[in-house]
Amino acid sequence: MSGTAFIGLGMMGQGMARNMLSKGIALRGFDLNAAARTRFANFGGTACVTAALAAQGCDMVFVMVQTAAQARQVLFADGVAAALDPQSVIVLCSTISASDMRRISAEVAAIGHDLLAAPVSGGQVGADAGTLTIMASGPERAMKKALPALQAVAKKVHQLGTDPGLGATYKVVHQLAAGVHLVAAAELMALGVKAGCDPHKLYEIVSSSAGNSWMFGDRAPRMMEADPRATSSVDIFLKDMSLVLQTGEETGVPLPLAQAAFQMLKAAGEMGCGPSDDSTVVRAYEEVTGAVVHKAITE
């Protein structure tokens, strides 16, 4: 009897796993963090103490880690690919470059498994609510097998063909908008406060008019908090924007907006905000201008 495993029960993975469990998909799971394993067990998952143990006896595994290096570590160094049943399906949900996705797919194929690229959009909110957007591509057999579990966590699964690089490409290109909109929200809030606007009124106006973006609506309120809960970190967005810039390099597209956004995220990272919520990119503008967007000082 074969099962399904889920490796990486962090800010994104925990919600995804919980939604699969709640829809009747039995899961074995692993995360390096013991608290994450306990939480997973409390939701009804079978928590395992190594990634390979979680994969043991499974013919499908979802991998939700942050980088290509981590994915390769889990699959090959930690023994997940070897522990799976023969001809299993590996669903890689991480945001990584198309070239990394294709390389890992080839490595996985060489040992008899199929890789489905399935990066997601929607953040922790979407993962928790089961309303992610998924950009999936890979062999048809893998798509068919993974689809029910993906649909359990998504409002929409885009099926983008058999090339695993395509799912990665759509996701990385999509991140250009998310990253630029995030930093634009910070730039706008800092300018508004310095120019005499009330930040809450400014938020109300922009979020209900042509200046709105999904990221503005989601992140600007957290920019007004002194200590926002981290749902996705500055470091993760630095990684994502690096992938965007890498794609521009590889395809010959100058990306002045993405580059500017990257540099402001870098400034926030250098200030020590790397592990903090990505909304703290506003601190880079506050530091330079003296604008106070976050509440701690305005209240």
Contacts (Cβ under 8 Å, ≥6 apart) of 25: 4, 148, 149, 152
Whether 171 is a known active-site residue: answer: yes
Dist CA 181 CA 220 (whole Å): 10
Contact 63, 27 (CB under 8 A): no
- The pair phi, psi for residue 173, each rounded to 5°, is -60, -40
Q: Residue 10 Cβ, how far from a copy of itself at the closest point, in Å?
A: 18
Contact 234, 273 (CB under 8 A): yes
Nearer to a copy of itself, 81 or 189 (CB): 189
Q: Residue 293 Cβ, how far from a copy of itself at the closest point, in Å?
A: 11
Contact 29, 17 (CB under 8 A): yes
Extract the tokens encoding 44: 């009804």
Contacts (Cβ under 8 Å, ≥6 apart) of 215: 178, 181, 182, 185
Q: Residue 87 Cβ, how far from a copy of itself at the closest point, in Å?
A: 28
Nearer to a copy of itself, 81 or 193 (CB): 193
Contact 25, 37 (CB under 8 A): no
Extract the tokens encoding 212: 């709105």
Q: Residue 285 Cβ, how far from a copy of itself at the closest point, in Å?
A: 7
Looking at residue 277, the DSSP 8-state letter turns out to be B
Nearer to a copy of itself, 47 or 176 (CB): 176
Nearer to a copy of itself, 109 or 288 (CB): 288
Q: Residue 253 Cβ, how far from a copy of itself at the closest point, in Å?
A: 5
- The pair phi, psi for residue 244, each rounded to 5°, is -60, -50
Which run of H or of E encompasses 219? helix 214-223
Rg, Å, the chain Cα set: 20
Nearer to a copy of itself, 24 or 256 (CB): 256
Pick the catalytic residue: 144, 156, 171, 201?
171
Report, as residue numbers or ranges, the catalytic residues: 171
